[in-house]
Amino acid sequence: MPDEKRKSRKPPARVEAILARNAATAVIFRRGPSRKVRMLKWNLRTDKIEGGQWIDARVHVERSDISPNGELVACFVASYRRAPQTWTTISRPPYFTALTVWPKGDTYGGGGLFVSDSHFLLGHDERIQYGVDEFKLLPDFTLPKRFRVQDFMRHCPAPQCDVEQARMVLSGWRFTQRRGPGRSQANADMEYLLEAPEIMTRPLDDPKHPRFDLHRIVEGYGSGRRQTNFRIMRAEIADLETKECRDLGYIDWVDADHNGDVLWSARGQLFRLAGPNKRTMTLDAAPKLVADLNDMTFEAVEPPRRALKWP
């Protein structure tokens, strides 16, 4: 009987978010069941979440980004059931309806990074003609004249970083430990732990003299019971004055807003812990449940007119 209940129980949704660097806005990617993904828009001042479109494809959030003002979102999408199989798109959140599309065809690279609201670094193969970086768009798509596109590998402002790492560095994160050179043997849960975990740290208050630090620790990859996205990741909050540390456990995503509030997701739920900029931070305080995004069903959503035009 217990085995039957375990089989019938739905796995929790996978929830990740990307915060705009210059606005109190975030884009949420909620995955499940299977590859179906819904985009939502999160007002970080009010914690109001606006529902958006679904897409029946894999969205590689680690290669996606949101413009600093929160008006555009770039996604790397994979669907091998139709051409071009993989592509990078820019749209208006919380909608996947594309303003422009660059075809890719494979998963080597892809996606990109917003350097500014009108400057995008694309992680595709570079084509140079007449001294100008040019990337082939799908037919019927164009770019505004003011919108600049360059090659990610050549122009990335954070050397030796992938798209996700570069996005985090621009948002105030820093490496305190690079990942080890290899992976260990799989354990009983089919998890491959890194020889040395990747640790990135972000101060929650004064960047020059912080009292509280947020740590994101990637321990490995696998298909174990703790996570469903093949990345085993924990988060911690450290009080640098008292040396105390709060372990948030295994999470799907973590970041901090402009107030120093710690935001994270686990098992389909979004949480917020008040940071030091609102009041003296208490590590053992109960976090606020912002939203439980598990109970959602795939449906077709038509975009409004504003989602069909560049801002």
| Domain edges within the chain | 15-163
Least confident of 50-59, 226-235, 298-307: 226-235
- Cα separation values, 195 from 35, 115, 175, 192, 228, Å: 30, 33, 16, 9, 21
pTM: 0.92
Q: Strands 269-273 and 98-103: what pairing?
A: unpaired
Count of Cβ atoms closer than 10 Å to residue 121 Cβ: 24
Task: Find all residues with CB under 8 Å of 35, minimum gap 6, and list them.
Answer: 56, 57, 58, 79
Average pLDDT over residues 191-203: 90
Over residues 113-143, the pLDDT tens digits come to 999 999 999 999 766 555 455 688 999 999 9
Over residues 247-267, the pLDDT tens digits come to 999 999 999 999 999 999 999
